[in-house]
């Protein structure tokens, strides 16, 4: 039922990969630079188109399991204590997605050295070994790179470091692939060019691959987990918003496709929180004014991240406007009235409902009468849609029950797979 329209896979994957690196200037474009180096090595090696797509996609998502900014910065500066933790989490996130099964195994081992592969009697001819070695080398190069200094002043030193690791840390063949391009100035200049995103989009091995709507829903669930699993405090929020919005849409008579669009918008509405520092998400008390001003940036970044993906225009608006208010008092765009369509109005109420009903670090979840009273006051003041609030009030038990059940499953999944630090 969702096959009539498709989404450009190349642009979507690039967009999501870019979102992983927005939190800190030193990390910006890390995944894209690693993918660029891997793509250059793949082209030199004349690999099959299937392998190029697999290795490139794995490179774009290789650190998806590094949830915290602290861990990401430690990886960048070689200060990590457990290099396998984020790789294992990345594997667990992706392994059940049929489209990313091969990539998940490559990501799982992208810090494994050639010496370790040899000890386990594995061969470079195996896709998982070759792919993980390509990403390991590309990742190592980017971690050596200081993006605040001239790249051509650093290239010789980086090359010498990689050569010194040939045969033990990296397979000699992989190093040779890298060296084919590493002696060219244009390789390094492209690596740090401001338009790297557009360069990758033009050379993208996924540019002729389309994603159907069913797969888009699955990818939105993947990134929902990346967003929410940064903290146990937020581990169930987006799934709650997604379920609440979907139920409201069904009651309003939305088509199955439109309900699925609400589900995707709910899953992605907080993707902009990837730019928010960990200490704010983890704070066990109410945010101070300066912290609050940092937090509200996330809605703009949801818009910023999603707006470039053709085919997601409506979902982008629904996801990005959930903190707007009908009287223009919301943020960040201060839209009002007719500027906010029905989908965004649903997300607005679904987000409020979920936030009020769920437990927060600084308070317990509100009781039903408190949630209803708060929403009704907001509707009476003309801030949120009164008709949608009426639906929530009239169907409160159904919505609350389904949201709670979905959040319990999400929390169980988080605790079972991701909360433990022992891998």
- The most distant pair of C-alpha atoms in the chain lies apart, rounded to whole Å, by 70
How far apart, in whole angstroms, are the C-alpha atoms of residue 278 and residue 222? 20
Asked if 113 and 65 touch (Cβ cutoff 8 Å), the reply is: no
Positive or negative CA dihedral for 74, 71, 142, 84?
A: positive
Asked if 284 and 362 touch (Cβ cutoff 8 Å), the reply is: yes
How far apart, in whole angstroms, are the C-alpha atoms of residue 185 and residue 175? 18
Query: What does the H/E/C string look like for 356-389?
Result: HHCCECCECCCCHHHHHHHHHHHHHCCCCCHHHH
How far apart, in whole angstroms, are the C-alpha atoms of residue 58 and residue 91? 10
How far apart, in whole angstroms, are the C-alpha atoms of residue 22 and residue 143? 16
Decide: helix, strand or coil at residue 156. helix
pLDDT of the chain along its 423 residues, tens only? 333 467 888 888 999 999 999 887 778 899 999 999 999 999 999 999 999 999 999 999 999 998 877 888 778 777 766 888 899 999 999 998 888 999 999 999 999 999 999 999 999 999 999 999 999 999 999 999 999 999 999 999 999 999 999 999 999 999 999 999 999 999 999 999 888 888 898 888 987 788 888 889 999 999 999 999 887 778 899 999 999 999 999 999 999 999 999 999 999 999 999 998 888 887 878 889 999 998 999 999 999 999 988 889 999 999 999 999 999 999 999 999 999 999 999 999 999 999 999 987 667 889 999 999 999 999 999 999 999 999 999 999 999 999 999 999 999 988 887 775 444
Q: How far is CA 124 from CA 109, 113, 129, in A?
A: 13, 12, 5
280 closest CA partner among 269, 291, 290, 289: 291
Q: CATH homologous superfamily of domain 7-210?
A: Hypothetical protein af1432 (1.10.3210.10)
How far apart, in whole angstroms, are the C-alpha atoms of residue 167 and residue 354? 54
Q: What is the pLDDT of residue 392?
A: 98
Q: What is the pLDDT of residue 420?
A: 59
How far apart, in whole angstroms, are the C-alpha atoms of residue 189 and residue 201? 17
The DSSP secondary-structure symbol of 414 reads I
Residues in the chain: 423
**Cis ω for the linkage preceding 164 (within 30 of 0):** no
Q: What is the pLDDT of residue 81?
A: 66
**Residues carrying CATH 1.10.3210.10, the chain:** 7-210, 214-418
Asked if 281 and 255 touch (Cβ cutoff 8 Å), the reply is: no
Q: CATH homologous superfamily of domain 214-418?
A: Hypothetical protein af1432 (1.10.3210.10)
Q: What is the pLDDT of residue 141?
A: 98
Q: Phi and psi of 357, rounded to 5°?
A: -80, -25
The reported pTM is: 0.92
């Amino acid at each position: 039922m969702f096959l009539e329209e498709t989404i450009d896979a190349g642009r979507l994957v690039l967009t999501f990969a870019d979102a992983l690196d927005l939190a800190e200037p030193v990390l910006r474009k890390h995944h894209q630079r690693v993918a660029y180096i891997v793509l250059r090595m793949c082209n030199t090696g004349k690999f099959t188109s299937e392998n190029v797509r697999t290795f490139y996609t794995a490179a774009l998502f290789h650190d998806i399991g590094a949830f915290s900014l602290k861990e990401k910065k430690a990886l960048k500066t070689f200060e990590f204590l457990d290099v396998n933790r984020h790789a294992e989490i990345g594997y667990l996130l992706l392994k059940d997605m049929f489209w990313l099964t091969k990539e998940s195994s490559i990501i799982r081992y992208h810090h494994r050295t050639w010496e370790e592969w040899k000890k386990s009697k594995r061969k470079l001819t195996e896709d998982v070994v070759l792919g993980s070695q390509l990403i390991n080398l590309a990742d190592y190069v980017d971690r050596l790179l200081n993006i605040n200094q001239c790249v051509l002043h650093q290239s010789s030193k980086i090359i010498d470091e990689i050569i010194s690791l040939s045969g033990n840390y990296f397979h000699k063949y992989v190093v040779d692939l890298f060296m084919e391009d590493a002696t060219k100035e244009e390789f390094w200049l492209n690596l740090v060019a401001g338009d790297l995103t557009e360069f990758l989009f033009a050379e993208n091995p996924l540019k002729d691959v389309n994603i159907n709507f069913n797969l888009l829903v699955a990818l939105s669930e993947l990134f929902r987990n990346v967003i929410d699993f940064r903290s146990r405090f937020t581990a169930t929020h987006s799934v709650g918003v997604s379920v609440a919005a979907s139920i409201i849409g069904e009651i309003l008579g939305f088509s199955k496709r439109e309900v699925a669009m609400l589900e995707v918008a709910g899953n992605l509405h907080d993707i902009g929180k990837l730019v928010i520092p960990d200490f704010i998400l983890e704070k066990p008390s109410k945010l101070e004014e300066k912290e609050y001003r940092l937090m509200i940036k996330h809605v703009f970044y949801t818009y910023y991240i999603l707006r470039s993906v053709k085919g997601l225009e409506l979902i982008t608006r629904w996801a990005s406007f959930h903190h707007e208010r009908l009287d223009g008092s919301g943020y960040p765009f201060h839209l009002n009235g007719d500027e906010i369509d029905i989908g965004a109005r649903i997300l607005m109420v679904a987000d409020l409902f979920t936030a009020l009903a769920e437990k927060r670090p600084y308070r317990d979840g509100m009781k039903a009468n408190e949630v209803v009273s708060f929403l009704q006051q907001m509707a009476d003041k003309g801030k949120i849609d009164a008709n949608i609030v009426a639906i929530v009030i009239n169907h409160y038990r159904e919505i609350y029950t389904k949201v709670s059940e979905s959040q319990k499953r999400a929390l169980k999944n988080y605790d079972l797979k991701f909360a433990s630090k022992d891998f």
